[in-house]
C-alpha cells in the first residue's frame, strides 16, 4: 500500500514537474525505463534527438544511450551496429561539449559511461579488427567516468559487464563482476524516475541473474 | 607446423583489448558506397562483420603457416596435396604470384621436393591486408595468368615485446622494439626447424637422409617520416636442406635419392607518403637472391653409387637467381571516392647455373607501365578501368593488357560485380634456358559475381570463364601453340552469428577446364584439377576454458592422371576422391601472474588428416610405363604439439605486426 502510494506520488510529482519544465524529456525518459527492443530504442532515439529542453546535455545523452543499447542488443549482428555506434559517438561527444569540466563532474561521468558503452558496441562490429582500438577506448572512457565519480552506479555496471564478458586470461573475473554489479545495485537504491540518469537497476539484475 | 609463433596470433580472439591505440596511419581515401570487388577475397584489418580479417584467412587448420595453403579453403583454389603453391581456376601453381607491398615475392616457399609441399618462408601474420584475387585483378599487377595474392605488411608494432615457441620439431624466438616516441621500430626473429626427430617417431615415406631442416632469420625496421610517411625494411635469410630416398621404380635393387639445398635472401624496402591532400606516392624495391642445389642419385642396397641407363635418374643441378624490382605508383584522389593511379615498374632477373655439364643462363628485363582509374558513375554504380603495358627483353615482345571491373549495388546492400581483363605471363625460365623465340602466354578472364554481407553473415557466388592463349608446348617442339579454357561456379557462405563464438564457412567450387599444353597430345583436363571441391572451416572459441578449436575439412572429386610418352597417352584414369580433415586446438593462458612480467602464452596441438584417409594425388610411372605407384602423403597423419609464449606486451597479436 505504501509502495503504491509512493508510486502514485512520484507519478503525480513527476507529472507536475514535467509540466513545469521538461514535459517531452520526462515523458521520453519514462518510456526509456520501459524500453526493451531495438525498435523501442530506435523510436526513442529520434524522440530524444528532437527534444531541446534544459538541461541541454540530457537529450543528446539519452539519444546516445539509446544507440548504445541498440548496439548491445545487436551484438551478434556485426556491421549492422556501425551506423548506431557512429551516431552514438557523435551524440555523446555533443553531450560532453555541453558540460562544464570543472563544475559538472557527475554529469560528465554519466556521459563518459555512455561513451564507453558506445565504443564497446564498436568492438562488436568485428572484435578482431575493431577490438584493438575501440576496446581500449572503451576502457579509457570507463576509467575517466570512474575517476570523475568513483561510485557512479552506471559506470560500476559497465565495469561489471566488462569483467563478466572478458575471458579470464585477459583479466575477466566473474566473482569481481558479481561484486561490482551488487555494489552498483546498492548504490542505485531507489533511483526514482527523474530526468537525471537513473537507469541501471534492470541491467544489474540481468547480469547478476547470469552470474548466479 | 613450422612456426610456433604462428599460434600466438590465435590470442586476439578475445573481444576486449587493453593495449595502446593503434599506430597505423589512417587512409585518407574517402569511404565509398560501392567497392569494386569482382574476383577477389579481401582480408583486411578493417573488416566488419563477416568479412575476412587476415587472421581469419590464415588460421585455417592444416595451413602449416603457409598463406597459399590457408587460402585453399576459399573457393577457386584446388586441393593440391603434393606440392606448394596455389592452383586457381584451372591454372598451375606458377600462374599465381604473391606480392608484398607492391613488389613480387619470387620464391615464397622453400625449394620444391617432389611429392611433398614445402614450407612458406614468410610468416603469414606479417600482413594487415591480404587480397586473394582468383580473377580479374587490378592493372597495378601483372605476370600472373590466374591469380594474384596481394599482401600489405603491417606498420609499427604496438609495443616492445619478446616471444618464444617450442615445438619438438620447431624452435622460434623473436623480439620487437618500439621507440619511445612511437615513430620507429625494429625487430629480429629466428626460426629453426628440424624434422628428423619427429620423423623417427612418425615414420615417413620416403625415407629422409638429410633434414628436412629449415632455418630462417629475419629483421625489420620501420619508421614514420613526416605526417603521413612510412618507410619499411624487411629482410629475410633462409637455408634449407632436404634429402630423401625411396626404392627406385625402374630397378627393384636400387634406391632413388633426391636432395635439395637452398639459400635465399629476400629484402623488401617500401615507402609510402601523401604528398598533399590529393596525391599519394608508393615506392617499392626488392632484391632477392636464391640458390638451389639439387642432386638426383641412385644407390644400391649397400649405399654405393649405382648407374642407370636413364640419364635423368642421376645428376646435379645448381641455379642461382638474382632478382630485383623497383616500382613507383602515384595516386591522385578526386571527389566521390574517385582516384587515378599510375606508375611503372621494372623487373630484373638473372639466372646462372649448371645442369650436369651444361650451363644455364638467362637475363631478363621486364618493364611495365600502368594506369587505373576508380570511376564513380552513380551512387550505386562504380567502375575500375585500367591498362597495363609490359615489355620483356628476353622475348622482345610488347603486350598491352586492358582491365575493367564494374560494381552495381542493389538497394538491399548486396552487390553485383563484373570483371574483364587480359593477363600475360612469360614462359617459365626452364623453357627460356632452352629456347628464346617464345611469346607471352595469356589468359582472358570474364567474371560475374554477387555478394551479400549482412548481420555477421556473408554470401558470395561467382561465375567465370577464362580463355588461355599461347600456352607453352614441349612437343613436338618447344612452342607457344598451346591453349585452353576454364569455367566454373564458386559459392562461399560464412556465418558468425548463428552460434555464439562459433565461426564457420563453407565453400563449393565447380571447375570445368581443359588445356593443351606441355606434352599433352590434345586438350585434356589437367591433372591438377578436380571438377568438384567443397571445403569447410570451423573455428570455435570456448571462453570458459580459454580454448580455441579449429577444424577444417576438404573434399574434392578425383583428379585425372595420365601417362604420356611419344606414343601418346598409354594410361589414364581418375584418382579416388580427396578427403581430408584437420584439427587444431590451442589453450591460451598466462604462466606468470606477476603483473610486470605478464605473459600471453598457450599450448597448441594438432592433427592433420585426422581420420587417416588415404590420399592419392596421382601416379608416378616407371620409364616403360608398365609400373606405377601412387603419389600420396609422406605419412598418413601429421601431428604437432608445443608451447608458445609472448612477453612484455598487453596484447599478443602484436605478433601480427612484428615483421615487415
Residues B455-506 have pLDDT tens digits of 899 999 999 999 999 999 998 899 999 999 999 999 999 999 888 889 999 9
Contact A169 B589 (CB under 8 A): yes
Domains of chain B: 5-657 (2.40.170.20)
Check B12 against A131: CB less than 8 A apart.
yes
- Cα separation, B154 vs B618, whole angstroms: 39
Q: What pLDDT, in 10s, does the model give residues B25-55?
A: 333 333 345 677 777 888 888 888 888 888 8
CA angle, corner A170, sides to A168 and A174, nearest 5? 35
- Inter-chain contact B16–A170, Cβ cutoff 8 Å? yes
pLDDT at B265 over 50: yes
Q: Is A83 on the interface with B (CB under 8 A)?
A: no
Q: Is A76 on the interface with B (CB under 8 A)?
A: yes
Closest CA to A165 of A202, A98, A103, A210: A210
Residue to test with chain A: of B8, B11, B14, B452, most A Cβ within 10 A: B14
A79 contacts B14? CB cut-off 8 A: no
Nearest to A170 among B18, B21, B456 (CB): B18
> Span A167-177, mean pLDDT?
82
* Sign of the dihedral through C-alpha B47, B49, B52, B54: positive
Reported as a pLDDT band with limits 50, 70 and 90, residue B593 is low
Mutate to test the interface with B, among A78, A120, A141 (most CBs of B within 10 A): A78
**Would you say residue A16 lies in a domain?**
no
Q: Is A78 on the interface with B (CB under 8 A)?
A: yes
User: Which residue from B minimizes the CA distance to A130?
Assistant: B46
pTM for this predicted structure: 0.87
- Choose from B9, B11, B17, B130 for mutation: most chain A CBs within 10 A: B17
> Is residue B653 over pLDDT 50?
no
> CA dist B16 to A120, B138, B159, B601, Å?
9, 36, 17, 17
Of B14, B56, B454, which has the smallest distance from its Cβ to A166's Cβ? B14
* Top-confidence residue, B607 or B36: B607
What is the distance between the alpha carbons of residues A64 and A69, in angstroms, rounded to a whole number?
Answer: 9
Which positions in chain A touch B455 (Cβ < 8 Å)?
A: 76-80
Q: Do A127 and B653 touch (CB under 8 A)?
A: no
Q: Is A166 on the interface with B (CB under 8 A)?
A: yes
Q: What is the pLDDT of residues B504-558, one digit of tens each?
A: 999 999 999 999 999 999 999 999 999 999 999 999 988 778 888 999 999 999 9
Contacts of B458 in chain A (CB under 8 A): none
DSSP B283-297: EEEEEEEEEEEEEEE
Q: Select the highest-mean-pLDDT range: A50-54, B204-208, B428-432.
A: B428-432
Please give the Cα distance from B93 to A135 (Å, whole number). 41
Q: For residue B594, what pLDDT band results from cuts at 50, 70 and 90?
A: low
Please name every residue paired with B323 in a beta bridge, in sequence order, or none if there are none. B288, B349
SS3 content of chain B, % helix, strand, coil (to 5): 10, 55, 35
Q: Find the distance separating the first CA and the last CA of chain B, reported in whole Å.
A: 21
Q: How confident is the model at residue A3 (pLDDT cuts 50, 70, 90)?
A: low
Identify which of B546, B587, B572 has the alpha carbon closest to the alpha carbon of residue B625: B572
Q: Is residue A2 part of a domain?
A: no
CA nearest to A127 within chain B: B15
Q: Which chain B residues touch A72 with a CB distance below 8 Å? A: none
Q: Are the beta carbons of B419 and B404 closer than 8 angstroms?
A: yes
DSSP single-letter state for residue B427:
P
Q: At what angle do helices A105-125 and A136-148 cross, to 10 degrees?
A: 160
**For residue A198, what are the CA distances in angstroms to A35, A62, A107, A155, B530?**
14, 11, 12, 12, 64
What average pLDDT does range B577-585 have in this prediction? 93
Mean pLDDT of chain B: 87
Q: Which residue has the higher pLDDT, B499 or B330?
A: B330
Residue B232: partners with Cβ closer than 8 Å, 6 or more residues away: B101, B153, B155, B220, B221, B222, B268, B269, B270, B271, B660
Give the other-Cβ count within 10 Å of A124's Cβ: 25
Comparing CB atoms, the residue among A80, A136, A171 nearest residue B454 is A80
- Inter-chain touch A126–B49, beta carbons under 8 Å: yes
Interface touch A171/B18, C-beta < 8 Å:
yes
By CA distance, what is A133's nearest residue in B? Answer: B21
Q: Do B18 and A82 touch (CB under 8 A)?
A: no
CB contact under 8 A, A136 and B55: no
- List Cα–Cα distances, B12 to A130, A145, B652, in angstroms: 11, 26, 7
CA nearest B600 in A: which residue? A169
Question: What is the mean predicted confidence (pLDDT) over B412-425?
Answer: 93
Are B600 and A169 in contact (CB < 8 Å)? yes
| A76 → closest Cβ in B20, B453, B456 | B456
C-alpha count within 13 angstroms, C-beta hemisphere, residue A37? 3
Is A80 in CB contact (< 8 Å) with chain B? Answer: yes
- Predicted pLDDT of residue A23: 85
Identify which of B15, B53, B651 has the shortest CB distance to residue A165: B15
Enumerate the residues of chain A whose CB falls inside 8 A of the CB of residue B56: 128
pLDDT value at residue B6: 52
Q: Which domain covers residue A186, as residue numbers?
A: 22-211
Q: CA A204, CA A160: separation in Å to the nearest integer? A: 8
Q: Is the torsion defined by CA of B645, B647, B651, B654 positive or negative?
A: negative
Condensed to tens digits (0 to 9), the pLDDT of residues B130-167 reads 999 999 999 999 999 999 999 999 898 877 888 888 88
The secondary structure of B127-144, three-state, reads EEEEEEECCCCCCCCCCC
Q: Give the DSSP per-residue string, A150-198.
A: TT-HHHHHHHHHHHHHS-GGGT--HHHHHHHHHHHHHHHSS--S-SS--
Taking one residue from A and the other from B, the number of pairs with CB-CB distance under 8 angstroms is 105
Give pLDDT, residue B33. 59
Which of B15, B50, B455 lies at the smallest CB-CB distance from A131?
B15
A78:B50 CB<8 A? yes
What confidence score (pLDDT) does residue B309 get?
78
- pLDDT at position A129 is 84
Contact A128 B454 (CB under 8 A): no
C-alpha cell at B89: 581456376
Residue B597 pLDDT: 57
Q: Looking at chain B, which residue has its C-alpha nearest residue A79?
A: B49
Give the chain A residue whose CA is nearest to the CA of B543. A167
Candidates A77, A78, A162; nearest CB to B16: A162
Of A77, A169, A170, the CB nearest to B497: A77
pLDDT higher than threshold 70 for residue A41: yes
Confidence of residue B13 (pLDDT cuts 50, 70, 90): very low
Indicate whether A54 belongs to any domain: yes
Predicted confidence at residue B369, as pLDDT, reads 97
pLDDT of residue B5: 45
DSSP 8-state class, residue B261: E
H or E element in which residue B458 lies: strand B457-473
**Mean pLDDT along residues B191-199:** 89
Question: Is the model's pLDDT at B182 over the cut of 60?
Answer: yes
A133 touches chain B (CB under 8 A): yes
For residue B23, list chain A residues with Cβ-Cβ distance below 8 A.
none
Chain A residue closest in CA terms to B496: A76
Within chain A, where are the H helices?
2-20, 23-34, 38-50, 58-73, 82-97, 105-125, 127-130, 136-148, 153-165, 174-188, 201-211
DSSP 8-state code for residue B93: G
With an 8 Å Cβ cutoff, are B21 and A165 in contact?
A: no
User: In chain A, what residues touch B53 (CB-CB under 8 Å)?
Assistant: 126, 128-129
Chain A contacts of B47, Cβ < 8 Å? 126, 128-129
Cα nearest neighbour of B9 on chain A: A128
Question: Cβ of A125 under 8 Å from any chain B Cβ?
Answer: yes
Q: What is the pLDDT of residue A170?
A: 72
Residues in chain B whose beta carbon is closer than 8 A to a beta carbon of chain A?
12-22, 44-51, 53, 55-56, 158, 453-456, 496-497, 500, 543, 546, 588-590, 600, 651, 653
In the predicted model, what is the mean pLDDT of residues A116-140?
Answer: 89
Task: Name the domain count of chain A.
Answer: 1
Q: A135 — contact with chain B (CB < 8 Å)?
A: yes
Report if residue A41 sits inside a domain: yes
CA distance A144 to chain B (A): 15
C-alpha cell at B42: 579481401
Give the domain CATH number at A176: 1.25.40
Whole-number Å distance between alpha carbons of B305 and B316 = 14
- Closest Cα in chain A to B593: A169
Q: What is the DSSP string of B527-582?
A: TT--SEEEEEEEEEEEGGGTEEEEEEEEEEPPPEEEEEETTEEEEEEEPPPEEEEE
Q: Give the ipTM.
A: 0.77
B346: which 3 cell numbers? 621494372
Q: How many whole angstroms separate alpha carbon B353 and alpha carbon B292?
A: 9
Q: Answer whether B47 sits within 8 Å of A129, measured CB to CB.
A: yes
Assigned domain for A10 exists: no
**Closest residue by Cα to residue B153 from B239, B222, B56, B76:** B222
Residue A63 CB neighbour total at 10 angstroms: 28
Amino acid at each position: 500500500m505504501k509502495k503504491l502510494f509512493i508510486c502514485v506520488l512520484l507519478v503525480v510529482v513527476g507529472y507536475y514537474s514535467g509540466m513545469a519544465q521538461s514535459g517531452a524529456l520526462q515523458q521520453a525518459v519514462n518510456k526509456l525505463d520501459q524500453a526493451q527492443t531495438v525498435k523501442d530504442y530506435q523510436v526513442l532515439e529520434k524522440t530524444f534527438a528532437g527534444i531541446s529542453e534544459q538541461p541541454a546535455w540530457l537529450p543528446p545523452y539519452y539519444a546516445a544511450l539509446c544507440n548504445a543499447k541498440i548496439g548491445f542488443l545487436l551484438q551478434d549482428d556485426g556491421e549492422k551496429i556501425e551506423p548506431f555506434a557512429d551516431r552514438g559517438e557523435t551524440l555523446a561527444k555533443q553531450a560532453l561539449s555541453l558540460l562544464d569540466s570543472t563544475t559538472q563532474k557527475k554529469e560528465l561521468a554519466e556521459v563518459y559511461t555512455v561513451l564507453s558503452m558506445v565504443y564497446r558496441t564498436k568492438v562488436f562490429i568485428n572484435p578482431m579488427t575493431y577490438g584493438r582500438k575501440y576496446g581500449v577506448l572503451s576502457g579509457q572512457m570507463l576509467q575517466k567516468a570512474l575517476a570523475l565519480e568513483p561510485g557512479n552506479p552506471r559506470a560500476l555496471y559497465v565495469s561489471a559487464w566488462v569483467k563478466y564478458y572478458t575471458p579470464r586470461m585477459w583479466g575477466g573475473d566473474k566473482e569481481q563482476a558479481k561484486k561490482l554489479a551488487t555494489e552498483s545495485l546498492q548504490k542505485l537504491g531507489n533511483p526514482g524516475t527523474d530526468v537525471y540518469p537513473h537507469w541501471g537497476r534492470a541491467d544489474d539484475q540481468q547480469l547478476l541473474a547470469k552470474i548466479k | 607446423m613450422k612456426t610456433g609463433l604462428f599460434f600466438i596470433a590465435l590470442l586476439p580472439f578475445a573481444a576486449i583489448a587493453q593495449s595502446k591505440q593503434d599506430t597505423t596511419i589512417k587512409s585518407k581515401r574517402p569511404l565509398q558506397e560501392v567497392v569494386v570487388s569482382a574476383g577477389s577475397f579481401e582480408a583486411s584489418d578493417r573488416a566488419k562483420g563477416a568479412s575476412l580479417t587476415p587472421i581469419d584467412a590464415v588460421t585455417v587448420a592444416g595451413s602449416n603457416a603457409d598463406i597459399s595453403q590457408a587460402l585453399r579453403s576459399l573457393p577457386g583454389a584446388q586441393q593440391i596435396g603434393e606440392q606448394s603453391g596455389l592452383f586457381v581456376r584451372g591454372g598451375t601453381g606458377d600462374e599465381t604470384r604473391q606480392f608484398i607491398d607492391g613488389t613480387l615475392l619470387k620464391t615464397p616457399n622453400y625449394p620444391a621436393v617432389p611429392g611433398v609441399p614445402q614450407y612458406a618462408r614468410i610468416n603469414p601474420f606479417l600482413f594487415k591486408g591480404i587480397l586473394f584475387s582468383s580473377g580479374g585483378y587490378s592493372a597495378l599487377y601483372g605476370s600472373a595468368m590466374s591469380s594474384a595474392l596481394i599482401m600489405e605488411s603491417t606498420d609499427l608494432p604496438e609495443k616492445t615485446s619478446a616471444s618464444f615457441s617450442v615445438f619438438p620439431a620447431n624452435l622460434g624466438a623473436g623480439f620487437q622494439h618500439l621507440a619511445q616516441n612511437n615513430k620507429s621500430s625494429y625487430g629480429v626473429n629466428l626460426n629453426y626447424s628440424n624434422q628428423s626427430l619427429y620423423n623417427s617417431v612418425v615414420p615417413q615415406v620416403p625415407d629422409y637422409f638429410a633434414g628436412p631442416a629449415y632455418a630462417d632469420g629475419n629483421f625489420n625496421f620501420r619508421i614514420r617520416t613526416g605526417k603521413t610517411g612510412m618507410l619499411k625494411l624487411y629482410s629475410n635469410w633462409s637455408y634449407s636442406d632436404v634429402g630423401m630416398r625411396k626404392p627406385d621404380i625402374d630397378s627393384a635393387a636400387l634406391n632413388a635419392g633426391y636432395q635439395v639445398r637452398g639459400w635465399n635472401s629476400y629484402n623488401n624496402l617500401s615507402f609510402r607518403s601523401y604528398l598533399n591532400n590529393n596525391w599519394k606516392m608508393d615506392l617499392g624495391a626488392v632484391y632477392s637472391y636464391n640458390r638451389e642445389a639439387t642432386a638426383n642419385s641412385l644407390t644400391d642396397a649397400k649405399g654405393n653409387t649405382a648407374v642407370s641407363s636413364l640419364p635423368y635418374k642421376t645428376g646435379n643441378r645448381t641455379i642461382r637467381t638474382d632478382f630485383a624490382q623497383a616500382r613507383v605508383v602515384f595516386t591522385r584522389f578526386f571527389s566521390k571516392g574517385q582516384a587515378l593511379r599510375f606508375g611503372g615498374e621494372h623487373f630484373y632477373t638473372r639466372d646462372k647455373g649448371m645442369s650436369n655439364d651444361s650451363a644455364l643462363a638467362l637475363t631478363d628485363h621486364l618493364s611495365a607501365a600502368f594506369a587505373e582509374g576508380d570511376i564513380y558513375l552513380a551512387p550505386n554504380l562504380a567502375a575500375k578501368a585500367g591498362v597495363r603495358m609490359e615489355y620483356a627483353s628476353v622475348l622482345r615482345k610488347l603486350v598491352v593488357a586492358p582491365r575493367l571491373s564494374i560494381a552495381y549495388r542493389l538497394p538491399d546492400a548486396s552487390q553485383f560485380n563484373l570483371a574483364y581483363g587480359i593477363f600475360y605471363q612469360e614462359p617459365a625460365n626452364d623453357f627460356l634456358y632452352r629456347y628464346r623465340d617464345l611469346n607471352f602466354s595469356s589468359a582472358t578472364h570474364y567474371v560475374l559475381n554477387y555478394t551479400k554481407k549482412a548481420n555477421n553473415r556473408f554470401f558470395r557466388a561467382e561465375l567465370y570463364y577464362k580463355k588461355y592463349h599461347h600456352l607453352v608446348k614441349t612437343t613436338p617442339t618447344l612452342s607457344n601453340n598451346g591453349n585452353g579454357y576454364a569455367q566454373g561456379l564458386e559459392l562461399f557462405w560464412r556465418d558468425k552469428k548463428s552460434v555464439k563464438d562459433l565461426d564457420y564457412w563453407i565453400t563449393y567450387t565447380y571447375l570445368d577446364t581443359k588445356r593443351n599444353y606441355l606434352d599433352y597430345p590434345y586438350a585434356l583436363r589437367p591433372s591438377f584439377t578436380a571438377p568438384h571441391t567443397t571445403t569447410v572451416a570451423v573455428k570455435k572459441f570456448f571462453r570458459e576454458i580459454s580454448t580455441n578449436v579449429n577444424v577444417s575439412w576438404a573434399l574434392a572429386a578425383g583428379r585425372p592422371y595420365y601417362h604420356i610418352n611419344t606414343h601418346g597417352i598409354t594410361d589414364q584414369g581418375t584418382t579416388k576422391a580427396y578427403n581430408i580433415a584437420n584439427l587444431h586446438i590451442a589453450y591460451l593462458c598466462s604462466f606468470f601472474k606477476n603483473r610486470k612480467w605478464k605473459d600471453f602464452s598457450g599450448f597448441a596441438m594438432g592433427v592433420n588428416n585426422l581420420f587417416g584417409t588415404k590420399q592419392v594425388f596421382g601416379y608416378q610411372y616407371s620409364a616403360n610405363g608398365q609400373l606405377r605407384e601412387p603419389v600420396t602423403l609422406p605419412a598418413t597423419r601429421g601431428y604437432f604439439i608445443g608451447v608458445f609464449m609472448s612477453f612484455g606486451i598487453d596484447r599478443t597479436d602484436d605478433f601480427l605486426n612484428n615483421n615487415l
